[in-house]
Amino acid sequence: MIKGKVAVVTGASAGIGAAIARDLSAAGARLVLTARRADRLHALAAELGGDVAILAADITDPSVPAALLELARSRFGSADILVNNAGILRAAKLDSFDLDGLAPLIATNFEAAVRASYVFAREMKAAGSGAIVNISSIGAHLTAPGSGVYGGLKRALEIFTDALRIELAASGVRVGLVAPGTTSTEIFDEMKSRGEPGWDEFVTPLLPEDVARAVHYLLEQPARANIARVHVFSSGEGF
């Protein structure tokens, strides 16, 4: 189900995105990878070899999803899979939350994924096949001081993903989400830069490869099956 497919992965320069790219490449997919850090993308493309196209860009730029689709078309002829992985974390309590960081948080974690989903879903619907996987978080279903904005955006992404899946039912386009628990990535670097402990310091965290395997599981299902969501918890989390 993955071999020979063209997969577009956002936020692919490190962490979960890079792990997804490696997993899909090993399964025989052709890749279009995007992230802001060109040097990281070039290094990953060199590591993977084979059929990899890259676009160094800010996913919050409204023109980027269409540019990714055009790159997939021009390089490989189609786009079969979209993985909306790009995301950032800003978590702080009432008195210290940086309101200047609110707009980028919304743009990256919700708006960019919605825009890309629509751009690619229209193409896939016309083709009669395709798969979209949005990376959420178990934070979408946790209520804790300081995490309301991040969790709220992930909840919104999940509602959007479910609605898109229902809208595309019987079209040949499958839509699902993977919601990881605490995963050891750079997403906690901003918290740590402020002298606060990252959430990955409280439990034995997942590795990015664990999340990549969950994405692979969704994509390898037969056309008759649509896995709507997979939650992957660290074995140390007791929610």
- In a domain, residue 239? The reply is no
Kindly state the average pLDDT of the residues 135-155.
91
Q: Is residue 1 part of a domain?
A: no
Q: pLDDT tens, 77-130?
A: 999 999 999 998 887 788 878 898 899 999 999 999 999 999 999 999 999 999
Instruction: Tell whether pTM > 0.85.
Output: yes
Four-residue CA torsion sign, 184, 188, 148, 168: negative
Contact 95, 44 (CB under 8 A): no
Q: Is 107 helix (H, G, I), strand (E, B) or coil?
A: helix
Write the CATH number for 25: 3.40.50.720
Domain residue limits at 145: 6-232
Task: Tell me whether residue 145 is in a domain.
Answer: yes
> For the residues 178-186, what does the mean pLDDT come to?
88
Hey, what's the torsion of the CAs at 137, 142, 148, 151, to 10 degrees? 20
Q: Which two tokens stand for residue 8?
A: 């577009």
pLDDT at 195 over 70: no
Please give the pLDDT value at position 58: 97
Q: Which residues are catalytic?
A: 150
CA 59 to CA 94: how far, in whole Å?
A: 28
User: 207 to each of 119, 170, 233, how far by Cα in Å?
Assistant: 30, 34, 11
Both structure tokens of 239? 């929610």
